[in-house]
Structure formats: structure tokens, C-alpha cells
Structure 1
Amino acid sequence: MTMKVLVTGGNFLNQGAYLMLVAAGVGIRQHLGAQPVIPVRFGTQRQKAWIGYDTLLAEERVGFFPRLGRAVEGSWRDRLPFVTASEVDAVFDITGFAFGDQWADAPLMRRARNYEMWASRGIPIYMLPQAFGPFELTAKPAKRAVQSSRIVYARDVDSYEHVRNLVGEAEGVKIGTSPDFTIGVEGTLNAVPSHDSGFGVIVPNWNIMKRAASVAHASGYLNWLVEASLVMQQHGLSVVGLCHEGRRDREILDKIRSQVPAMEVLDGLNGQELKGVLGAASVVVSGRYHALVSALSQGVPSILHGWSHKYRWLAEDFDCKEFVADPYSPGEIVGDLIARAVDSESPRERIVIATDKLKARNLAMWSEIASDLGWRSQTGTVLGGIGG
């Protein structure tokens, strides 16, 4: 019988979350020989089937119903197109970042109690690599979630320290580190624009504008993106604006295009289509974490607009620390950074070497989880994407 793994925290709206769903699903199938499952309220049946997920007939907002599985056992069970809670063999959390102070207003205690419920029934929980903390406002639910888990993977040193300080030497909880697990997901090429001279990509993040300390800072961010677009054109590149998440990112792109009319805007793409576009670019400027992962993991030099510690550590992972930039302070640095990214092969070579090392660490993570579960591991398998 195929083991069932419930994946929590993903969705089909945020394209970073979508990429994590794809990566978790591929890893579960290829490295654990199991079947990924997602609660019924996330996505349409078509969306779930497209990335290889089964549907869990349960609703986490009102609790899970393990008895339901026993009610449909027997000859009818194999004819029903869903999984019940009693059939879940493991739980993988893919949004540990949601337990940090940035999401203090979210219903975190409900999720923590669900994890305690799974753990009390002997179902192992694993928190896949995320940026964790700080936990000044969310310590209670975060601690309960972490203590319910078997292994918690922090994506960087700061996150590791946040988790370690939260739970101390909690018995039964292993805290490890592993890089972002979407690195090996393949992009699809159906949406890649055709520009003979090559193109650079601008990926805005409305959160950066929202977090601006003043109107001047918000204007500085917009000016940064406009200036970057103009510098790309000066280097003979076409400019593509990529909407990675929703209406508010699109509004920023429209403001840029009012000053850079030749910019092509791409909207409505899924995470793998976005990754395909980013992988074909000559240079990327972005304040969206998974857009940066998608670009860097394909060897594309990228300028990181960092507003959290996770961006600094991402640059460390990909050996490109010189490309971290203050998103609110344009100026000569814009031209310098883009010139360095476009005119030299050195950054690209370093990024490719770093990517190979990160992929090896991802494989080690899947092998460790397989060993902890006692399931089979295929550590030689390269993590790929879903075709289509």
C-alpha cells in the first residue's frame, strides 16, 4: 500500500507557495515512494491533479475526522476519489515562516493544535526548510508546533537560532539546516518571451513598498526599479516585468511601465512558468524570495532586494553576497550592480557551482527523512518538475 503524506501550508495563489507544493510533491513521490495529499479546500481538483496531489477529505479549520476512514472501509473504499485522515501516514509542513511574528494575526494556534493532534496519534511531522522567527509575538503556537515535530529544517543560521532558542533541547525534536527545497524544480518554457538581444526581468514586491518607513522610501523603491529597467535597456536588453503575486505587484509594474513604455509585462503565470521565464533571463532584479531562488538556481545573476534576514542568507547560499541591495536607495549602485551581473561570467560561474552543492544538500535532507520514517530512499534521483 502506498503511504500518504499530508502537505500543509501550501496554496495555489502565491506562486512561491505553489512552487513549494510542486517541490514537496515531487520529493515525496521520488524520494519516499509515497503519495502527496492536500486538504480539500486548497485549489480545484484539476489543479491538484495537475501537480500530482490527492485530496484529503477533511477541513483543518474545524478539525480532522479520523473515524471517517473506518466508515468507508471495504469494497467501496477504492472507488472513492479522496483520502481520509485515518489514512495519513506523515505530515509535512512547508510554511514554517507562517509561525513567525510577521503572521501574528493569523490563526496559528489552530494549526499548532492540529499538529499536536497528529503527533498524539503517532503521525510524524516534518517541517521542511523555511525561514523561521522571530517569535516574540508568536512563541506559544510556534513552540507547540515545533515540539510536535520530529525534524525541523531551518533554511539559514538565523532561523536555526530562532528555533533553538524557542524550544531549547526539546526531547524528540531534531533541528537541522537545509537550503530552500524548490531549487531543483524545473521551469516550463511555454511562456518565455522572445527577445533576440536577451532580456532582463523586474519582479516587484508590494510588501517592500508597504514596509517603507516613509513616502520618500516608497518612492525610492519605485525609482530603483525604474532605473534598473533603464540601465538594462542601456546594456542592450529588453525589459520584462514579471508579476509573481497578484494585483498589488501588478500595480507596481504598471507604474514602472508608465516610465518605461517598452517594458513587456507578464501576468497570470504559475510558479513553474515563472521559473522558466526567470531561467531564460540575462539578469533579474527582485524582492520576491522564490523568484530569486528560481533565477539563481538556474545560474542567472540576480540583484536581491532584501527586507528580511532570509535574503542575506540566500545570497550567502548562492555565493553572490555582492548583489544584495537596499531597495530604498537607488543611485550609482544600480548601474554598477547590473553591469557586474551582465558583463562578467564570474558571478554566473560561482552561482552554478553553489547551486550544485545546494542540490546535494537537498538530497541529503530527503534521505534523512526517509531514514527517519523507515521508508525507501532514492537519493540518486534528481528532483525535477511536473511536466505540462
Structure 2
Amino acid sequence: MTSPNIAIIGSALSGNKGASAMLEAAVQTLSERLDNPTFTLLSMYPEEDAALNPYPNLNIVAANAKQLGVTINSLALAYRVLPFLRGVLRSRSEAIRALSEADILLDQGGITFTDGREKFLLYNIASILPAINVKTPVFKCAQAVGPFRNPVNRWASRTFLPKVRTLVTRGRITHEYAEGLGLSNIVAGADYAFSLELAGTEATDVSNQIDLTFFDEDVVGVCPSVVLQKKVDARGGDYVGQMVAFIEHLRSEGKRVMLIPHSVRTGTEKTHNNDLPLCRAIHSRLRLGSDLLFVDRELTSQQLRFLIGQCSLFVASRFHAMVSSLAMAVPTLVIGWSHKYREVLEMFELEDWAFGHDKLTLDYLTERFSELSAQREAVKAKLDSRLPSVKARSVMQADLIADVVRTSRGVNA
């Protein structure tokens, strides 16, 4: 019998390192549970992902938005309705071959089918429809969905979400939205990135680029987000100015600060999945000094998690930067824009340490940070107490995926 084949979409090795963390967690956990599996990533950035790919059993297939939405979906529909062409379609299209030969498709989109993000709705559908058409089971890894009040999103969600084999909800709020939609294929879980294990070489790897003695004293990590910047600036705010003022406030109080982007695409100034240009803009307005560390390059998801774990306190706007800080039990203040932040913090009984971008002012940010700093030990105790159960909820989905693969191959668990 051939090795298990697992197709993956919605994640990446380049760009958003949260997507990388989910992808690598899947490769790690499923390689432990299945006999010599192979993985195929349907990639938005095939050249960038291929350049960063350290896994010999992970293949990269091009699937940018146009290729996925037009070519791959059209070929998958032809595969479904014209069975006499299936051999030709498999031989001519890497994506169709990967999907048709896969035992399962993992959809690792972090937030899908949700009100307010209707511009991404076609991509959400296009990501899973080809697998549905070639009759490959779809497993939506832990993610946020809903709410479903918008008629267009509600129709799309009611039409396509029941067609997936399993939808793992990433927290209480998402689970309640999914239940309210009448879905019966849902399982309560936790973000797959909580399952990511460090290799143990991260300190050596990053010490060639970063002086780790910077962390000999307490360090506050600050991780901005271009997504949040757009939302703040759209309502007349000045996100860059607020971050600059906040960091200088921390330094004036004698704190060391690490400015770190968690989503980086090397070699481009495009801001989609790329916070480095934003962080450079913030850094350009900061005074230089030995109390400031700017991580101005692309690191792996494990290296980022290692560095975040060296911090004493963390301020996050990128979702998976928050996941990494929680996974490393670092007390964290979160500035977010959807329910996806709060529902994860709820698992640690720490939901009060998140607030929306609509509340972001320098005074409110410094006030909330001061409160977190004062309650640091109590917050750390909650993280240490709840982290094992959250990690167990995360890795549980690897067992579910392995069961689906074994079932599709007629192999007993």
C-alpha cells in the first residue's frame, strides 16, 4: 500500500508565520501518527514557500488566488462531471493529481466564513470546493467561523460548511456560532499552532543574528499588525504614532523592548501577510539605544516562538503571535479585531486581557499594560495551569485526522 497522502491549503511557510506554525504542526504531529506520510501544500506563494521548505516529504504546488479560483476549481468540476477525462486531468494538473490522490484535505485558513470578511468568501469556498468535487474528505483545522448574520455569508456557510467532513472550532464563541447555524460536523478544539514543538536548535540558530544577552534582563515584546493598522487608520487614528509613543513610554520606565514582526515576506514591500514594512516605519521613529531590539528579518515560526518565549511580557496584535506567547506561558496583552482573540484567551481564563482596536488610545494601552505588569505573576500562574489542557485540545485534531486517513484507506486504527 502506498504512503498516506495529505493535501493542505490555507497555510504557508513564508509570510504569515502563524500559517507556518499550523502547517509545521500538522507535518510534525501527523508524521508521528501515520506511516511515512507525504504532504502537498497548495500554495499562494509557491516560490517563496519552496525556498523555505525544510521537509523532504512536503511538496509545494502553485495555487495562487487566480489559479485556485479559476483553473483548479474548473478542472475539479470537470473531474467530477466528466469521468472519462480524469486520467488526463491528473496527468496535466499537479493540483488535481494531489487532490484526487489525497486521503484528506486540511483547510488551515485561520478565519473563514465570517461576517465582515465577505471579500474573502469566494476564496473560502474555492479552497474547499475542488476537494469536494474530487470526493476527497475536507477537514477544516481549528479556525474561527461566524457570525452568520450577513445573508450572503449565511447562505454560503449553510451551503458549503455541511459538506466538509469535520470542522474544528477554535473556541467557545466560534462553536456557538456553528451550533447556531445547525452544523453537526463540528468538534471543539484549539488552534493547531499550540501543537508546534521547538526543535531545540533555535537558540543556536538565532544567536548568529541576534545577541541573546539582550534577554538577560526583563524584556517586553511588541508585535504590531498591518491588519490592525488599516482598521485604526481607517477611523482616523494613527497606529504607527501610537506604537511609537507606547514603546518610548516603556523605555522611559526602564524596560527593554523587542519590536518583532510575526508576518514577513522577504524581498517585497507589499503589506499582505507582511508586517515588516510597518515595523520598519515604527522603528524609524524610535530613538536608538541598547534597550531596543528590532527583529528586522524573516525567521522561522519556531525561531519566533523561541524569541517570544524569552520575553517577560508581550503585547500582540497578530493572532498567532498571541498563540506563541501563550504557548510559551508569557503574560500577554492583546489588541484585536474579532472574536478569534477573545475565545482563545478564554481557554486560559484570561479574556479580560484583550481589547478591540476601537478602544486603542495611548492612555488606554499604557493603563492596561500597567495592570498586566502588576498582575504578572497571577497571569503566569493561569497560563502554566491551563496550557496542558489547551495543548491537548490542539493535538487532538491530529488524532482525528489520522483516523480519517486510516478509514479512507481501509486501515484499522
Mark yes or no: TM-score above 0.5.
yes
TM superposition outliers: structure 1 runs of 4+ over 6 Å: none
Deviation track 1:126-155 (CA, whole Å, cap 9, x = no partner) reads 101101123424334433331221111111
TM-score, normalisation: structure 1 = 0.80
Aligned partner of 2:83 in structure 1 is none
> What is the one-letter code of the residue matched to 1:93?
D
Note the C-alpha offset of 1:18: 1.8
Distance 1:51 1:198, change over 3 A: farther
Which secondary structure state, in structure 1, belongs to the residue aligned with residue 11 of structure 2? coil
- 1:17, distance to aligned residue in structure 2 (A): 1.6
Q: CA deviation at 1:207?
A: 1.9
Contact 2:311 2:330 in 1 (8 A): yes
If the length of structure 2 is used for normalisation, what is the TM-score?
A: 0.76
Match of 2:30 among 25, 28, 31: 28
Match of 1:204 among 193, 217, 224: 224
Q: Which runs of 5+ in 2 are unaligned?
A: 80-85
- Could you tell me how far apart the structure 2 residues matched to 1:353 and 1:316 are? 13
Match for residue 19 of structure 1? 21
Q: Give the whole-Å Cα distance in 2 for the aligned partners of 1:214 and 1:41.
A: 27
Q: Indicate how the Cα distance of structure 1 residues 69 and 353 shifts in structure 2: closer, same or farther if over 3 A, else same.
A: farther
SS in 1 for 2:15: coil
* C-alpha separation in 2, matches of 1:177 and 1:27: 18
Task: Give distance in 2, aligned partners of 1:147 and 1:274.
Answer: 36
Query: Residues 175-194 of structure 1 correspond to what in structure 2 (within 5 A)?
Result: 175-187=186-198, 188-189=202-203, 190-191=205-206, 193-194=211-212
In the alignment, the residues of structure 1 paired with residue 43 and residue 342 of structure 2 have an alpha-carbon distance, to the nearest angstrom, of 36
Which residue number corresponds to residue 5 of structure 1?
A: 6
Cα distance change on mapping 1:332 and 1:159 into 2, 3 Å: closer
The alpha carbon displacement at 1:56 in A equals 4.8
- Residue-by-residue CA offset, 1:27-81 (whole Å, 9 max, x unaligned): 3222344322113664333433448412458863412465258759xxxxxxx9x
The residue identity in structure 1 corresponding to 2:132 is A
Cα distance change on mapping 1:71 and 1:18 into 2, 3 Å: closer
Offset at 1:363? 2.8
Does 1:129 pair with 2:130? Answer: no
CA–CA separation in structure 1 for the residues paired with 2:260 and 2:153? 33
Q: Is the 8 A contact 2:7 2:39 kept in 1?
A: yes
Judge conservation of contact 2:5–2:101 (CA < 8 Å) in 1: yes
Q: How many residues align?
A: 363
Alpha-carbon deviations, 1:329-361, whole Å to 9, x = none? 232662552463377422112112211110111
Q: Percent identity?
A: 20
Q: Does residue 43 of the first structure (1) align with residue 46 of the second (2)?
A: yes
Q: Determine whether 1:264 maps to 2:293.
A: yes
Aligned 8 A contact 2:41 2:58 in 1: yes
User: Which of 355-364 and 235-244 deviates more?
Assistant: 235-244
For 1:382, the equivalent position in structure 2 comes to: none
The counterpart of 2:307, out of the listed 277, 283, 286, is: 277
Gaps of 5+ in 1: 73-79, 379-388
Structure 1 residue matching 2:30: 3-state secondary structure:
helix
Aligned with residue 401 of structure 2, among 342, 361, 369: 369
Greater Cα offset, 39-48 or 144-153: 39-48
Alignment-derived partner of residue 384 in structure 1: none
Task: Quote the RMSD (CA, aligned, Å).
Answer: 3.3
Q: Residue by residue, what CA displacement relative to the aligned partner does 1:208-234 show, whole Å, maximum 9, x if unpaired?
A: 221127665x23x44543344234335
